[in-house]
């Protein structure tokens, strides 16, 4: 259907619409949408971030802990999109075109949210979407400056952060891929990574 | 249990009997899933400072967005196109299917991977693609199991929640699984099997949880990662959205995402929130080369034109299903329509206005209001269910029943006649001797037996104290 005709149907429907059913129709919305308020938490952001990551089955580690963590997860081959982290010598570095063969993908986040353990990834020519998605382990570097309280701090500021238009894909990642579809049992690692390691720089 | 009954040719009562007549496995699975999700919802909301105010604000915002749908959809379409995507406005299911089929044909597609989309179920897209020789593979674990088993999904969030691990072994066995009932082993099998399909797919089909008009962004939520896969690996992405899914800006999207994750799965934030603005850009290595958005009416403008249009505020979280005492007993299949639970009982009769059997779905409710209390955007579902019953009665209804209610209204409008109606109630008629309509009513209910004397008699005797 033509766009004009489709929207005209909606205009007509709205112009003839009766009052809402129900005893208490909603008041008009506020001029400014209120922030999603969390219960106050005085602890440092990094500490809350670590706790939230554990809560969703991910881990916050230091640069020094990375080689051991990769060893535990039996990572032999990895692809990297960032020079903020380096791989231990035991791990072979693959080119981006071989991302399907990699055990781990190492990327950098543009922001992270302490309250939820969320890292925010932005697609670009240097940061393909598949690197954080196809390998079974996702290692993500987060700048301390990029750590904010809640997803709302990122979402509500997207217009300001990307004044020239949003990236083709922004992905908010909160822990490993998961499902409870089989018998209600929570299992990590369905289509995306089964382990997420976050390194705070 | 026998095959899932279809809506046409059956009554709600018959489908309820089908759901309740099994070995009780359905009810125990329902109890486990709905208790778990409803409990998680409450804990998730507890993290927030003032969830009730957020809920009321969300209600006002959604109502305002629906009231300016033409403007918001127009802006959304402009921005999606500016970002390099296409937008198609589909008046009905057939237009939407034909459009999707046209894209697939132009690309010579043989395999389409689907991530969970209620709209694709609503327009029966899978069957249509299959007719055209295109395999449309569900990739959400629960949806995949339902597809392999030839059953529709039973719950918005847990499509296969009624399946036991033994059922899963049987179903996955049809595609080569030969392991035991371990959930991790079956999940790993699914990951391997579906991963190959993702790489072989010509088209990825996704739903849309929210579309942000401000930036022309499609927001898609998943926990398994299949929506990310469908919007990363195949060369073409087709996103299907109900026309009411548009929001004005990111502040509104923030509020709704905070409520959606908590109300649906009880998580502070969904595992994956993908915000897609157009297809891949020049020099990007992945993401779809083509992004096609399909905006669907298919009866929604009928809802928009009526008193129940607050139903279009729904964000499809599934919380009302988990809270509903009727859903918790009969499950999703007994509703006979794609959308089940209280929200389904409200919108299905309106969406399916050419299916007479759908009209009575508003009776699949006790009007207790638990759905309304659980709804993260405060839709007064119990009042909309009542409105649905009103509409059904106005459209005809049972002639004998109408006559009986008219007689009752007459009798209770006159003191003398009212006094007479006390007599049959004193009679203590056994249920099996009730006339058939009352006997049917008494099924599953306790017929009220009054105390010895009526209020009026006791009043006359001076037994009622002031």
Distance from CA of B17 to the nearest CA of A (A): 25
Nearest to B268 among A115, A169, A178 (CB): A115
Nearest to B383 among A22, A29, A40 (CB): A22
pLDDT at B24: 87
Residue B125 φ then ψ, to 5°: -70, -40
Residue of B nearest to A115 (CA): B268
Cα B118 from Cα B95, distance rounded (Å): 17
Element (H, E) at B296: strand B290-296
Where does the pLDDT of residue B149 fall: very low under 50, low under 70, confident under 90, or very high at 90 and above?
A: very high
pLDDT at B425: 61
Calculate mean pLDDT across residues A159-171: 95
Where does the pLDDT of residue A184 fall: very low under 50, low under 70, confident under 90, or very high at 90 and above?
A: confident
CA B19 to chain centre: 18
Any chain A CB within 8 A of the CB of B154? no
The reply to whether ipTM tops 0.95 is yes
Task: Dump pLDDT digits (tens) for B153-208.
Answer: 888 788 898 898 999 999 999 999 999 999 999 999 999 999 999 999 999 999 99
Residue B351 φ then ψ, to 5°: -70, -35
Least confident of A16-20, B27-31, B102-106: B27-31
Cα A35 from Cα B251, distance rounded (Å): 8
Beta bridge partners of A80: A106
With a CB cutoff of 8 Å and minimum separation 6, the contacts of B9 are B357
pLDDT at B153: 86
Cα B192 from Cα B121, distance rounded (Å): 25
Nearest to A18 among B141, B214, B307 (CB): B307
Q: Do A20 and B309 count as a contact with CB atoms less than 8 A apart?
A: yes
Cα B266 from Cα B77, distance rounded (Å): 32
Percent of chain A past pLDDT 90, that is, above it, reads: 92
Residue B339 has pLDDT above 90, yes or no: yes
With a CB cutoff of 8 Å and minimum separation 6, the contacts of B115 are B139, B140, B204, B205, B206, B207, B220, B222, B226, B227, B229, B230
Nearest to A13 among B273, B304, B307 (CB): B304
Q: Are strands A118-122 and A104-108 parallel, antiparallel or unpaired?
A: unpaired
The per-residue b/e assignment along B38-52, b for 16 or more CB within 10 angstroms, e otherwise, is bebbeebbebbeebe
The larger pLDDT score, comparing residue B147 to residue B47, is at B147
Beta bridge partners of B276: A169, B218
pLDDT at A28: 93
Task: Dump pLDDT digits (tens) for A57-70.
Answer: 999 999 999 999 99
Any chain A CB within 8 A of the CB of B360? no
Any chain A CB within 8 A of the CB of B273? yes
Calculate mean pLDDT across residues A77-96: 95
- Mark which residues 378-397 of B lie under 8 Å from A by CB: 378, 380, 383-384, 386-387
pLDDT at B441: 73
Cα A162 from Cα A150, distance rounded (Å): 18
Calculate mean pLDDT across residues B86-92: 98
Range(s) of chain B covered by CATH 3.40.50.10420: 66-298
Calculate mean pLDDT across residues B332-343: 94
Q: Do A21 and B77 count as a contact with CB atoms less than 8 A apart?
A: no
What rounded mean pLDDT belongs to chain B?
92
Least confident of A4-13, A22-31, B390-399: B390-399
Cα separations in angstroms, A98 against A82, A92, B138: 16, 12, 26
pLDDT at B449: 66
CA angle B151–B156–B160, rounded 5-degree value: 40
Element (H, E) at B61: helix B51-67
The per-residue b/e assignment along A177-198, b for 16 or more CB within 10 angstroms, e otherwise, is bbbbbbbeeebbbbbbbbbbbb
Q: How many CB atoms lie within 10 A of CB B412?
A: 11
Q: What is the CATH number of domain B66-298?
A: 3.40.50.10420
Task: Dump pLDDT digits (tens) for B62-77.
Answer: 999 999 999 999 999 9
Task: Dump pLDDT digits (tens) for B432-456.
Answer: 777 777 777 777 777 666 667 778 8
Show me where the domains of chain A are located.
Answer: 43-200
Beta bridge partners of A140: A107, A198
Q: Is B54 helix (H, G, I), strand (E, B) or coil?
A: helix
Residue B397 has pLDDT above 70, yes or no: no
Cα B115 from Cα B32, distance rounded (Å): 25
pLDDT at B245: 97
Contact B37, B318 (CB under 8 A): yes
- Mark which residues 39-58 of B lie under 8 Å from A by CB: 47-50, 53-54, 56-57
Contact B101, B132 (CB under 8 A): yes
| CATH 3.40.50.10420 is the classification of domain A43-200 | yes
Q: Do A36 and B77 count as a contact with CB atoms less than 8 A apart?
A: no
Distance from CA of B141 to the nearest CA of A (A): 6
Q: Please report which residue ranges of B107-173 form alpha helices under DSSP H.
A: 118-122, 125-131, 141-148, 165-173
Task: Dump pLDDT digits (tens) for B257-302.
Answer: 999 999 988 899 999 999 999 999 999 999 999 999 999 999 999 9
Where does the pLDDT of residue B399 fall: very low under 50, low under 70, confident under 90, or very high at 90 and above?
A: confident
Contact A178, A187 (CB under 8 A): yes
């Amino acid at each position: 259907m033509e766009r004009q005709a489709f929207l005209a149907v909606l205009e007509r429907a709205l112009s003839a619409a009766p009052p809402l059913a129900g005893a208490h129709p909603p008041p008009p919305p506020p001029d400014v949408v209120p922030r999603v308020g969390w219960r106050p938490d005085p602890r440092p952001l990094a500490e809350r971030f670590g706790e939230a990551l554990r809560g969703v089955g991910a881990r916050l580690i230091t640069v020094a802990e990375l080689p051991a963590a990769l060893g535990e997860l039996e990572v032999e081959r990895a692809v990297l999109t960032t020079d903020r982290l380096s791989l231990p010598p035991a791990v072979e570095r693959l080119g981006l075109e071989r991302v399907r063969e990699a055990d781990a993908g190492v990327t950098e986040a543009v922001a992270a949210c302490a309250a939820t353990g969320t890292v925010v990834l932005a697609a670009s020519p240097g940061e393909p979407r598949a690197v954080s998605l196809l390998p079974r382990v996702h290692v993500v570097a987060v700048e301390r400056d990029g750590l904010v309280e809640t997803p709302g701090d990122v979402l509500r500021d997207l217009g300001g952060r990307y004044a020239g238009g949003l990236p083709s894909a922004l992905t908010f990642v909160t822990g490993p891929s998961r499902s409870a579809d089989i018998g209600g049992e929570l299992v990590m690692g369905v289509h995306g990574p089964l382990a997420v390691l976050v390194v705070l720089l | 249990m026998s095959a899932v009954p279809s809506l046409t040719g059956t009554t709600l009562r018959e489908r309820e009997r089908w759901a309740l007549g099994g070995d009780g496995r359905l009810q125990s699975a329902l109890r486990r899933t709905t208790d778990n999700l409803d409990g998680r919802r409450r804990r998730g909301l507890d993290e927030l400072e003032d969830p009730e105010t957020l809920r009321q604000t969300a209600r006002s915002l959604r109502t305002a967005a629906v009231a300016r749908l033409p403007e918001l959809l127009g802006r959304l379409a402009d921005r999606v196109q500016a970002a390099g995507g296409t937008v198609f406005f589909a008046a009905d299911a057939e237009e939407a299917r034909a459009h999707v089929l046209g894209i697939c044909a132009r690309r010579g597609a043989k395999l389409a991977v689907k991530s969970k989309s209620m709209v694709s179920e609503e327009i029966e897209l899978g069957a249509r693609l299959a007719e055209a020789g295109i395999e449309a593979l569900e990739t959400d674990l629960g949806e995949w199991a339902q597809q392999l088993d030839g059953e529709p999904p039973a719950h918005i969030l847990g499509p296969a929640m009624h399946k036991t691990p033994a059922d899963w072994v049987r179903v996955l066995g049809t595609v080569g699984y030969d392991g035991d009932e371990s959930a991790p082993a079956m999940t790993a099998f699914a990951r391997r099997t579906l991963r190959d399909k993702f790489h072989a797919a010509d088209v990825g089909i996704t739903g849309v949880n929210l579309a942000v008009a401000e930036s022309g962004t499609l927001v898609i939520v998943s926990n398994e990662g299949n929506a990310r896969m469908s919007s990363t690996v195949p060369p073409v992405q087709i996103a299907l959205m109900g026309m009411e899914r548009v929001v004005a800006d990111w502040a509104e999207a923030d509020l709704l995402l905070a409520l959606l994750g908590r109300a649906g799965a009880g998580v502070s934030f969904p595992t994956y929130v993908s915000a897609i603005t157009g297809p891949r850009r020049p020099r990007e290595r992945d993401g779809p080369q083509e992004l096609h958005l399909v905006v669907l009416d298919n009866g929604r403008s009928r809802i928009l034109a009526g008193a129940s249009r607050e139903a279009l505020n729904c964000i499809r979280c599934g919380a009302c299903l988990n809270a509903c005492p009727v859903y918790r007993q009969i499950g999703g299949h007994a509703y006979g329509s794609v959308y089940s639970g209280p929200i389904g009982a409200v919108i299905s009769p309106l969406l399916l206005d050419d299916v007479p059997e759908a009209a009575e779905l508003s009776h699949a409710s006790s009007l207790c209001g638990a759905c309304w209390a659980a709804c993260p955007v405060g839709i007064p579902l119990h009042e909309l269910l009542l409105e649905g019953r009103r509409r059904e009665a106005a459209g005809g209804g049972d002639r004998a029943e109408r006559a009986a209610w008219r007689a009752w209204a007459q009798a209770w409008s006159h003191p003398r006649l009212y006094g007479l109606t006390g007599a049959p109630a004193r009679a203590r008629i056994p249920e099996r001797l009730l006339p058939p309509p009352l006997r049917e009513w008494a099924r599953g209910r306790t017929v009220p037996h009054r105390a010895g004397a009526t209020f009026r008699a006791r009043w006359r005797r001076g037994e009622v104290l002031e």
